Amino acid sequence: MLVTKPPMGWNSWNTFAGAVTDQVIRETADAIVSTGLKDAGYEYVVIDDVWSERERDENGRMVPEHSKFPYGMKDLSDYVHSLGLKFGMYSCAGVRTCAYYPGSFDNEFLDAQTFAEWGVDFLKYDFCTFPKNADPKAHYNRMSMALKATGRDILFSACNWGNDNVETWIRSTGAHMYRSTGDIGERFSAVANIAKSQYDLWRYSAPNCYNDMDMLICGMDGVGYVGHPGLCGDTEYKTHFALWCMAGSPLMMGSDIRKIRKETIDLLTNKDLLRIHADPEHRPPIVSYMHTPDCVSMFKHMSNRQFALGFFNLSDGNGRADLRPWEIGFPTTAGFGLKLKEIFTGEVIDYVDDYIGFSLPAHDCKIFIGEYVTK
């Protein structure tokens, strides 16, 4: 099976956008290994848009821009693979990409074969300039078939930004993950709005086809193409990462890994959050109680009779998030309760069977892993 958990890796767009180069990719791959991120499960190194020449060659094939990738994609792919990582690239279902480079519309089989020859393991497939009279379902299915026809295992990351009720049909195309939202930026409002837009849609995410809420902004620190200085700090990064882990979204880092701070590494490699993220049952969370869409609690079934609880304040001021067990079908007459351990502080709550709630500062959260205990 190609995908056994929500994919993890790094994508070039958030920091580098059109400034991505061979050197950036090699240095980033080196850093993913040296920082311990590879050991934590981050394995895909993905080049986003603006990697090719403006036009196809005389044989109709896409060509890497020589000034950025002087050794070609196969040489770069071999280097990434030599580190024990996987190599990813970008194309678009439209006639042109979002930056108006050649897209794959009606060239799916030729482009898939080209990617396979270059040793590509992951394809992000965008949706810009897609003809309005064409069928997105058919064209995403076509690229999926083209990738399979190469004989190479290539993870198919569909990216139509949540359009066309994508969650209801994308799994049937063979995609392994699907973008459910527009683009993220390094603003906590973007994180919060993305999460709130998915409260009723997480249930469509399932093994082998995961709801992708877009790339992580953790550790961008105001730098890069979507960086916004001063708008996010470690509290915002913590809540952002916890939300993505609770939701089981793919974890595709977007910061400059070559310059990443230890605090961000510690967050991205948090073993409890990654255990929640990759739990073998891959169940989506339940939004169990909501004061407002900004102040919510979430319950997530996990394997081995465990569960995760998340308490989130997505507002810009102090807020409160509560768990009322009867809201998740757990009456006080059940004869047992919940034992909880908070993953950031180590705080233990030995027994809860009726109510638990927390006052939280702006943009903050508490995440517990729990088990059932008798009274």
Report, as residue numbers or ranges, the catalytic residues: 126, 183
Q: How far apart are CA 12 and CA 224, in angstroms?
A: 10
Are the C-beta atoms of residues 156 and 123 closer than 8 Å to each other? yes
Cα–Cα distance, 106 to 279 (Å, whole number): 38
Q: What angle do CA 144, 212, 128 make, to 5 degrees?
A: 60
Q: Is 335 exposed, middle or buried (0-12, 13-18, 19+ CB in 10 A)?
A: exposed
Cα radius of gyration (the chain): 21
Transcribe 290-341 into DSSP letters: EEETTEEEEEEE-STTEEEEEEEE-SSS-EEEEE-GGGGT--GGGSEEEEEE
Q: How far apart are CA 280 and CA 76, in angstroms?
A: 33
What's at 308, amino acid-wise?
A
| Rounded Cα gap, residues 40 and 21, in angstroms | 25
Distance CA 41, CA 35 (A): 12
Residue 78, amino acid: D
> How does 287-323 read in b/e, with b if 16+ C-beta sit within 10 Å?
bbbbeeebbbbbbbebeeebbbbbbbbbbeeebebbb
With H, G, I as helix, E, B as strand and everything else as coil, classify residue 194: helix
The 3-state DSSP class for residue 249 equals coil
Distances in Å between the Cα of 259 and the Cα atoms of 26, 32, 47, 220, 265 are 14, 11, 18, 9, 11
Provide the pairing of β-strand 122-126 with 155-158.
Answer: parallel
